């Protein structure tokens, strides 16, 4: 049995969905915040990753597999194959983003050839298992990551097929041979278990969507339904670590390892959509709601625990040791986007934007060759710079590092950056929806196949003015919907004709502001809303940040960095803010804010009957910057949440 | 070369010290809080531990070693041998505490025989290394724990020799044969490295003190000085994990794994004392100061991180996920006691008391057969009861468990409970010092060998009245010093004769209150101080508990447990306290306190411009109990720090 396929150059293409994703063939980011990051990603990050995959020998593992010399000389962790696949996926999107690139295409094919040579006759593909001297195939489902690696292989093949259809490089065939094998091994009468790290589910679902092969989808469904019934071993951190504690339909929130939890939820959303399974979709929506309301940092980051890279309990979100893994942010975007395609609720797009600006943009340095693995909200001691040519053994490095022993984040950043245009807009029967703001060109069809072309122009997030200029549109009315973020003030939607005549001007509330109009070429729809700095308080149940506020402006969370303070680290450790202070806009996205340095006494014991000094500390003015830009000027200390002074 | 030995039945007996420890031969706890816990320890905990050591096969490993069948069938982690040694140490102290016990002695000897049979011809003793099919001896100093296990062996042999001198069971000989071997292997010209887990240092120092063999002490000194120079491998958590980041003389605070850090510091204190090394002792004192002032929970617990069981940075002490390992508390007592013996600073005894009441007393249940491994300060969700007959794979279990995969804590609790009398009092040339309060008998000599016998009577911690009745004393003046805790109010010292005549009555300040007197039989020295409930605030730099207070009374930290609240877990998640509330004494050490349940709104996102409700919540009265008694009535939630309501 087959399912319907749709040719769209995007990572997620349901056979049918409320909103149709617009892919890299339809949306191009042309300027601004994300264009610059995409440029760095293509010119710096991708070569950087290829260099390290080669240098660390993880690509070489495939050559050794092909030469039959494994396990001797195998390098890297059990999941290192997946980094090659994520790299391939990133390159596939990058080629799509650029509308083709011969040199990149040649590099892509060279890697695919090395992968192809390592695949076994029956389709099995993994450099860590199955040979004499290695663990048997599927013998360590808890930790072996074999299916996880294949999930990334499938996503890479999907990306390639959607951006370079008919490329004839063999990658899709590698993927389907492996998928056919696991359908046999793990199907209804096969091994009744799952992979410790969810990921194969999203890969299988999309491979089904690209090939039309329904059994890939049904295998994903089996994996989704099996998990939660204790099919994996109990471990120190409990089965919740791999979401094997509670069946997905019964869970109330995401829990356990934050990347696994989100990948699983994303895969479950794919299955639910294809099966028209409203019950499963409802369960996922309600888990998303609770996770956002109680288990997410103000940055959009998820996962409080270092030990198991896991969610904490509800409201357990200390800034100290906030883990907030880059990959968990990316995984959370994947889950949210799937829900958004089924229901245009502004909260999904708001959350995606929050993660994009405060997690995805935070991980890579401006030069794209060092990365945060974890994204803490409070750095108490100046980090130690990672040597530019050394692998960091530490996920929790307080400075960005060029590479990690566990290097999931850099290629995950790369594939997300390269495919970012696919998160900007969607279409529906009625028209086009704009979810994220970036100067871009949108070329699609509406009303059953009529061309619709628009140019988006904005300097967002510096301002909240977004202009959509119609380049081509049908004569019949088309509905253009533009997201008004939930934090936006004074939203106003203005429609002008090419010659500047205002035909509409109205206030709009957070949500999607829609204009339905028979657009003429040159018409401009302008959404404008305030991006004034906001002082944000936490829910009192988030105990660890009680009595503190964060400063936000538009989609960006700000932080105080010691390098911007008189007195540096010492001042940062004592910084406080008066209630009612209003930060002032400064150059380059910075804000100027009045702060104080609280007087402290160094005692011999930090708990006493009378401690809190009520004297206001010394006042000073500081320049603060968006969190994503921190730690790029050498070791420093930093905090997002600033204690308030009760005068 | 030899050093001087002193025959005192205590774990720490420096060849000379400002204060002479009084051992189990001199001090007997006769009634009250600790007597009950010692009784439970002897009758329940010790048989419980022996049962599990046998059941888990960790004792059987020695039999398999003797039979030459290892590595086949070896069970337990790499450090499981050490649990047998800690058990032996605990039993040795228990026999000493009881003044002999034939049945226990027989059990002790039976275990020693099994250990003896496993020792190799050259003195090597470890069931995990050195045989064909096992790792080579000393091949994994980072994680292998071979020297760590020997350290516990030495402490067991020392305990036995001091409580049953000349027992002729062979344990001391087993220890010295192993010590002789490592002197050769790790001496000045041997392997220039250390064990990943400090412990052998305290073991060697005490073995030197009991045997007079100086080279054991000098090997401890080599281990102390080598560490911190990068002799161990770098690991994910950094070399600070095993204190190999900075030489001990240059460190400014304890850091890394909290048990390792304290064991190392204790061993370094031993070496510093024996060498008269004032520089090293000063460094240790200053590290102790900073660790207490900035890296210790209000319970006295240490170690914020689950991942590496490690100290956090200064003031990084979130209640959420507070780790506060039981063994770290015990290790901190070990370090503090060594410093106290050299300088009678009340802060050392205050800290020891804080750990005793809020960590050591918290770990075991009232029945002594389940234990907390970690001692969190905030339990957000009701824990899952550990089955009474199953090993817990989780250190962070929110309910006490009978046994753990890593079972360091139960035998560590047992040896500390059994030897507790050794922390009560010391003597000096001038007289006797009373550091901890428990109904007890003290029999020692003063003024160069004259008998001094006193009975201490107190219902502490219920009241702060401690009466010391002189049973026997020299005619010359003897100084009796009694600790006045740093939090004590209205301290008053009264001296009465046998017929009730008050001969002295004066106010005393925190510190040591001394009475120098030619005591007559029946004289009573009575120290009385307030143990009124205190409302304690945190240093503002302990961010995660800002705006909260803890309730303490005497040495006990209190907690709010959901089972005592109307509305249970939900109320606990919203509990707050008005500033200025004064808890009232109730029965059984409980307090009655006026609290409120803050109104909260379940929103979709926990950060907003206006959140903090200033409305006072619903008022109610609750009964609260000491933290050490929590989690004994089934699953519950709990918090020590209570948010304050700013009316």
Mean pLDDT per 10-residue run, chain B (647 residues)?
Answer: 91 96 98 98 98 98 98 97 98 98 98 98 98 97 98 98 95 98 97 98 98 98 97 93 97 98 98 98 98 98 95 96 96 98 95 98 97 96 81 78 94 98 96 98 96 98 97 97 96 97 97 97 98 95 96 98 96 94 94 95 90 78 97 95 83
pLDDT above 80: residue A149 = yes
Q: Report the SS3 class of residue A541.
A: coil
For A351, name the nearest residue in chain B, comparing CA atoms only.
Answer: B605
- What is the spatial distance between Cα B303 and Cα B320, in angstroms, rounded to a whole number? 12
Whether residue B394 and residue A237 make contact (CB cut-off 8 A), yes or no, is yes
Whether residue B606 and residue A539 make contact (CB cut-off 8 A), yes or no, is yes
> For residue A610, what pLDDT is reported?
77
Sign of CA dihedral A256, A259, A260, A266: positive
Whether residue B236 and residue A394 make contact (CB cut-off 8 A), yes or no, is yes
B538 vs A contacts (CB less than 8 Å)? 606-607, 611
A298 vs B contacts (CB less than 8 Å)? 607
Whether residue B610 and residue A393 make contact (CB cut-off 8 A), yes or no, is no
Whether residue B611 and residue A313 make contact (CB cut-off 8 A), yes or no, is no
Whether residue A606 and residue B539 make contact (CB cut-off 8 A), yes or no, is yes
Report the residue from B237, B546, B607 with minimal CB separation from A546.
B546
CA dihedral A236, A237, A241, A245 (to 10 degrees): 90
Core vs surface per residue A115-154: b (16+ CB within 10 A) or e: bbebbeeebbbbbbbbbeeebebbebbbbbbbbbbbbbbb
Q: How far is B551 from chain A (nearest CA, A)?
A: 10
Q: How far is B238 from chain A (nearest CA, A)?
A: 8
Give the Å distances, CA to CA, from B135 to B69, B70, B128, B177, B356. Answer: 15, 12, 8, 22, 39
Task: Note whether A147 and A125 are within 8 A (CB).
Answer: no
Q: How far is A112 from chain B (nearest CA, A)?
A: 32
Report the residue from B237, B313, B603 with minimal CB separation from A380.
B313
The β-bridge partners of B533 are B553
pLDDT above 60: residue A647 = no
Q: How far is B608 from chain A (nearest CA, A)?
A: 5
B535 vs A contacts (CB less than 8 Å)? 609
A604 vs B contacts (CB less than 8 Å)? 289, 292-293, 347
B296 vs A contacts (CB less than 8 Å)? 606
A235 vs B contacts (CB less than 8 Å)? 393
- What is the spatial distance between Cα A380 and Cα A320, in angstroms, rounded to a whole number? 8
Whether residue A381 and residue B313 make contact (CB cut-off 8 A), yes or no, is yes
Surface-to-core class of residue B374, CB atoms within 10 Å of its CB (0-12 exposed, 13-18 middle, 19+ buried): buried
A540 vs B contacts (CB less than 8 Å)? 574, 598, 600, 611-613, 643
A408 φ/ψ sector (left φ>0, alpha ψ -120 to 50, else beta)? alpha
- What is the spatial distance between Cα A433 and Cα A515, in angstroms, rounded to a whole number? 10
> For residue A385, what pLDDT is reported?
72
Report the residue from B393, B535, B573 with minimal CB separation from A541.
B573
The residues, ordered by sequence, that sit 6+ positions from A419 with a Cβ below 8 Å of its Cβ are A10, A11, A24, A93, A96, A97, A159
Cis peptide before A488 (omega within 30 of 0): no
Task: Note whether A423 and A352 are within 8 A (CB).
Answer: yes
- Please give the mean pLDDT across all residues of chain A: 96
Q: How many residues does chain A have?
A: 647
Other C-beta atoms within 10 Å of B187: how many? 13
Core vs surface per residue A586-605: b (16+ CB within 10 A) or e: eeebbbebebbbbeeeeeeb
Whether residue B607 and residue A289 make contact (CB cut-off 8 A), yes or no, is no
Interface residue of B607, B610, B627, B647 to substitute, partner A, most A CBs within 10 Å: B607
The residues, ordered by sequence, that sit 6+ positions from B284 with a Cβ below 8 Å of its Cβ are B248, B265, B268, B269, B272, B335, B339
pLDDT above 90: residue A601 = no
Interface residue of B257, B314, B321, B384 to substitute, partner A, most A CBs within 10 Å: B321
> For residue A613, what pLDDT is reported?
63
The pair of structure tokens assigned to B7 is: 């025959």
Q: How far is A601 from chain B (nearest CA, A)?
A: 9
Taking Cα atoms as reference points, which of B367, B361, B363 lies closest to residue B407? B363
Q: Report the SS3 class of residue A117.
A: helix
B545 vs A contacts (CB less than 8 Å)? 543-544
> For residue A397, what pLDDT is reported?
66
Whether residue B538 and residue A607 make contact (CB cut-off 8 A), yes or no, is yes
| Secondary element (H or E) of residue A6 | none
Other C-beta atoms within 10 Å of A387: how many? 10
- What is the spatial distance between Cα A17 and Cα A111, in angstroms, rounded to a whole number? 34
Q: How far is A284 from chain B (nearest CA, A)?
A: 15
Whether residue A293 and residue B604 make contact (CB cut-off 8 A), yes or no, is yes
Whether residue B537 and residue A612 make contact (CB cut-off 8 A), yes or no, is yes
Other C-beta atoms within 10 Å of A437: how many? 25
For B552, name the nearest residue in chain A, comparing CA atoms only.
Answer: A609
> For residue B647, what pLDDT is reported?
47
- What is the spatial distance between Cα A577 and Cα A596, in angstroms, rounded to a whole number? 6
Report the residue from A347, A538, A643 with minimal CB separation from B606.
A538
Surface-to-core class of residue A180, CB atoms within 10 Å of its CB (0-12 exposed, 13-18 middle, 19+ buried): middle
Task: Note whether A186 and A222 are within 8 A (CB).
Answer: yes
Whether residue A542 and residue B606 make contact (CB cut-off 8 A), yes or no, is yes
Interface residue of B297, B384, B540 to substitute, partner A, most A CBs within 10 Å: B540
Whether residue B606 and residue A318 make contact (CB cut-off 8 A), yes or no, is no
- What is the spatial distance between Cα B146 and Cα B125, in angstroms, rounded to a whole number? 8
> For residue A602, what pLDDT is reported?
87
Report the residue from B535, B550, B602 with minimal CB separation from A293.
B602
The pair of structure tokens assigned to A233 is: 């071993």
Q: Which pTM was predicted?
A: 0.95
Q: Report the SS3 class of residue A365.
A: coil
> For residue A383, what pLDDT is reported?
77
Report the residue from A393, A606, A610 with minimal CB separation from B293.
A606
Task: Note whether B326 and B371 are within 8 A (CB).
Answer: yes
Whether residue B486 and residue A289 make contact (CB cut-off 8 A), yes or no, is no
- What is the spatial distance between Cα A270 and Cα B161, in angstroms, rounded to a whole number? 69
Report the residue from B294, B298, B646 with minimal CB separation from A646.
B646
For B310, name the nearest residue in chain A, comparing CA atoms only.
Answer: A307
Model pLDDT for residues A290-336, shown as the tens digit of each residue = 999 999 999 999 999 999 999 999 999 999 989 999 999 999 999 99
Q: How far is A235 from chain B (nearest CA, A)?
A: 7
Cis peptide before B71 (omega within 30 of 0): yes
- What is the spatial distance between Cα B392 and Cα B407, in angstroms, rounded to a whole number? 9
Q: How far is B110 from chain A (nearest CA, A)?
A: 33
Whether residue A611 and residue B535 make contact (CB cut-off 8 A), yes or no, is no
Q: How far is B67 from chain A (nearest CA, A)?
A: 30
Q: Report the SS3 class of residue B534.
A: strand
Whether residue A320 and residue B312 make contact (CB cut-off 8 A), yes or no, is yes
For A572, name the nearest residue in chain B, comparing CA atoms only.
Answer: B541
For B545, name the nearest residue in chain A, comparing CA atoms only.
Answer: A544
Whether residue A236 and residue B395 make contact (CB cut-off 8 A), yes or no, is yes
Taking Cα atoms as reference points, which of A544, A549, A643, A539 lies closest to residue A316? A544
Report the residue from B381, B395, B550 with minimal CB separation from A607.
B550
| Per-position DSSP letters for B626-647, written without gaps between them | EGGG-S-SSS--EESSEEEE--
Rg of the Cα atoms in chain A: 25
- The interaxial angle of helices A409-418 and A326-342, nearest 10 deg, is 40
- What is the spatial distance between Cα B199 and Cα B264, in angstroms, rounded to a whole number? 7
Q: How many helices (H) and strands (E) does chain B have?
A: 15, 25
* φ, ψ dihedrals at B465, nearest 5°: -105, 120
The β-bridge partners of B455 are B441, B469
């Amino acid at each position: 049995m087959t399912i319907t396929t749709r040719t769209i150059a995007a990572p997620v293409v349901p056979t049918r969905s409320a909103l149709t994703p617009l892919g890299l063939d339809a949306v191009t980011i042309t300027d601004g915040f994300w264009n610059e990051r995409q440029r760095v990603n293509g010119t710096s990050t991708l070569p950087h990753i290829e260099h390290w995959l080669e240098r660390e020998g993880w690509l070489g593992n495939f050559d050794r597999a092909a030469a039959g010399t494994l396990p001797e000389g195998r390098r890297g962790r059990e999941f290192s194959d997946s980094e090659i696949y994520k790299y391939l996926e990133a390159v596939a999107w990058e080629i799509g983003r650029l509308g083709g690139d011969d040199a990149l295409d040649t590099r892509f094919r060279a890697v695919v050839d090395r992968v192809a040579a390592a695949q076994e006759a029956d389709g099995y593909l993994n450099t860590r298992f199955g040979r004499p001297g290695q663990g048997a195939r599927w013998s360590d489902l808890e930790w072996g990551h074999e299916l996880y690696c294949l999930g990334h292989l499938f996503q890479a093949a999907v990306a390639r097929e959607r951006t370079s259809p008919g490329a004839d490089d063999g990658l899709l065939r590698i993927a389907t041979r492996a998928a056919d094998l696991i359908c046999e091994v793990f199907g209804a009468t096969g091994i009744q278990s799952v992979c410790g790290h969810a990921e194969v589910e999203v890969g299988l679902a999309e491979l089904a969507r690209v090939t039309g092969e329904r059994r890939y989808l049904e295998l994903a469904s089996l994996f989704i339904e099996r998990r939660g019934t204790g099919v994996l071993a109990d471990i120190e951190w409990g089965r919740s670590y791999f979401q094997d504690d509670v069946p997905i339909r019964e869970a109330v929130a995401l829990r356990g390892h934050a990347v696994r939890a989100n990948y699983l939820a994303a895969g479950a959303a794919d299955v639910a959509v294809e099966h028209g399974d409203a019950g499963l979709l409802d369960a996922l929506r309600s888990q998303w709601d609770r996770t956002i309301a109680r288990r997410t940092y103000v940055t959009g980051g998820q996962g409080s625990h270092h030990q198991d890279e896991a969610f904490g309990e509800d409201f357990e979100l200390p800034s100290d040791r906030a883990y907030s893994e880059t990959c968990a942010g990316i995984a959370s975007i994947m889950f949210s986007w799937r829900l958004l395609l089924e229901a245009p609720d502004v909260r999904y797009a708001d959350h995606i934007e929050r993660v994009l600006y405060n997690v995805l943009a935070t991980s890579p340095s401006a030069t794209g060759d060092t990365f945060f693995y974890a994204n803490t909200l409070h750095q108490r001691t100046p980090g130690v710079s990672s040597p530019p040519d050394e692998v960091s053994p530490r996920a929790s490095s307080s400075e960005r590092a060029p590479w990690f022993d566990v290097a999931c984040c850099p290629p995950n950043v790369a594939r997300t950056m390269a495919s970012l245009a696919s998160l900007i807009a969607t279409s529906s029967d009625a028209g086009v929806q704009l979810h994220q703001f970036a100067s871009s060109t949108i070329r699609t069809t509406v009303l059953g196949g009529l061309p619709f072309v628009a140019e988006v122009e904005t300097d967002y997030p510096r301002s909240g003015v977004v202009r959509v200029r119609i380049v081509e549109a049908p004569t019949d009315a088309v509905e253009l919907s533009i997201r008004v973020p939930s934090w936006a003030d004074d939203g106003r939607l203005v429609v002008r004709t090419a010659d500047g005549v205002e035909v509409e001007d109205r206030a709009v509330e957070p949500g999607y502001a829609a204009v339905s109009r028979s657009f003429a070429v040159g018409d401009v729809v302008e959404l404008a809303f305030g991006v004034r700095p906001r002082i944000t308080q936490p829910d009192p149940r988030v105990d660890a940040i009680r009595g503190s506020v964060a400063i936000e402006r538009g989609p960006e969370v700000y932080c105080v960095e010691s390098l911007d303070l008189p007195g540096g680290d010492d001042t940062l450790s004592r910084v406080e803010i008066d209630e009612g202070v209003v930060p002032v806009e400064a150059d380059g996205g910075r804000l100027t804010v009045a702060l104080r340095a609280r007087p402290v006494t160094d005692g011999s014991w930090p708990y006493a009957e009378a401690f809190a000094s009520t004297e206001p500390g010394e006042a000073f003015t500081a320049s603060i910057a968006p969190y994503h830009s921190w730690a790029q000027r050498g070791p420093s200390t930093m905090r997002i949440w600033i204690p308030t002074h009760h005068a």
